[in-house]
Structure 1
Amino acid sequence: MLIAALLFAISVTVVTFAALRVASSAAEAYREQFTAEAKVSLSELYLFIEPEKLYFLNVLMLLIGFLFTLLLTQSLIPALIVAVLLLAAPKMLYRVIKKKRLDKVLNQLPDALLSIASSMKAGSSLNQALEVTVKEDAPPLAQELELLLRELRVGVAFEKALDNLAARVPSNEMDMIAAAMKISREVGGNLSEILERVASTIRRKREMEGKILALTAQGKLQGLVMTGLPFLLGVVLYHMEPVHMSRLFHEPAGWIAISLILVLVTLGYVFIRKIVNIDV
């Protein structure tokens, strides 16, 4: 019996040590991946924050969310679901911030193009017109144009600098501007008039997109309400019938039901978003 107990203790120790090594390696790999992605993402947004601080904040929020959900539901499955959601939260937040920044840049484009065209009509070169626009305009478009000017000053080719600008601001509008400037530089022509026409086109396109967003706002809100309604009803029923509802979190049949609910609700939300999202 003593030998068997000793062997069992050794086995548990070895398994625990191996599990800790694997967990440590996974955590280190996640930290490196998170900081590398965060560094690129923050630089694209012109946010000068140390990626390490964001990593520790993310880990802290993950642990707090996991423990709070575990204490609240007394079940491991909901806590793991919350942990997974918090794990994916930084990327989702980055996408939201990037989209808002891109929308702001596109809204600033028509006025900026008209400013550049006016400066060129007054006799300024393209670089001088860009400098005036950078001084007068506000971020984030001013930041992108300033980086374009810096690249031109250090000797980057004009076409390459425009390609970099289009890559930083991925949109049909910026591709149109880059193509117009390249064609004007290669074959000649009145660039100020071309920019005015492009500005008019972009303004009309943004107005049409705004009207579509206004018309589809109700459908998007209905999608959010219908997605959140099952979870709200679940919370209400849990407080009304905690004994019966707790079976969802403590029995395999309940875990399957929760999984099906999550899958169906997600599919419903995706389908609604596909219906109300209209490309112009």
Structure 2
Amino acid sequence: MRPGGRNLFLLVASALLLILPPAYLLVAERRSAASGPVEILVDYLKAAYARDFRQAYRLISSEDRRLKDEKTYVRERGTFDGFTLEVGNKLAGWIQATPIEEKTIGERAHIKLKLKLPDANKLSGPLLDWDEERLNALSTKEQRALLQKLDQWSMEGRIPVIEGEQDFDLVKESGGWRLFLNWAAGIRLSFEARVNDALPLEVSWDQREFISRQDELFNVRLRIKNLSNREVFMKSLHRVEPKDMTEYLDLVECGLLLPTKLLPREEQEYSSTYLVRGDLPDGTKQIAVTYEFTNVP
């Protein structure tokens, strides 16, 4: 697996094709501007679950999109492609969601869904630990066999599921209903690196500043280059400021948790996945994270 591979089981997105009461039965087709908020919500969740974040971005409100362009949004989350995306869509076909609350006032809508979806984490074993490179490298015969196995498990009721409820807000624009994520009220996070003088390293960030909502995953990528003609053995510590915010920023996945070795002149890319916890104290606006690199004797 690539460092910090994009694991589907890390998703917090809820659904792709939702199985709803008759009034809400939907097909996977392009929505018109006249589509209602539930239909647009389904399309957004479908794209998000499948990690098709380019499509998901198009269904986000213009107010949010002014704060974050498509390239940034996609880069923060990582997008599945190829057969891995097909597997995600396969699982999504078995998701169930029922609207348990729907309030529409003028150009604003609030929808609460009861969700039941495949637990992709528990399926990670037969799905090659969601290693995108390995999944996409399977032969056509192997891919077909894997999809057939999932179909069989579904018919036998062997697909593990997780259940929960989630609220969503939407706004009506000229192009139709769009998800309102309220990024303006999000937490601003910044990242920097400090390298011990004894280490001949060059550290560069793919992106250093983020705006994230609570309970929303985002990815941080950095490249580290050994500038010397000798092997380097290093480790990194993550410092969070203010310090009392450390417990509210979860490090979900990190390619630098263990000491790392770089060969002479070698350059490697690493990825970390973070989540700002939902119980973050009110009024928190900014968190700074520093990666401190030190030599391992």
Greater RCO between the two (CA within 8 Å, min separation 6)? 2
Greater per-residue helix proportion: 1
- Report which of the two structures shows the higher radius of gyration computed on alpha carbons: 1
TM-score by length of 1: 0.23
Structure having the higher strand fraction is 2
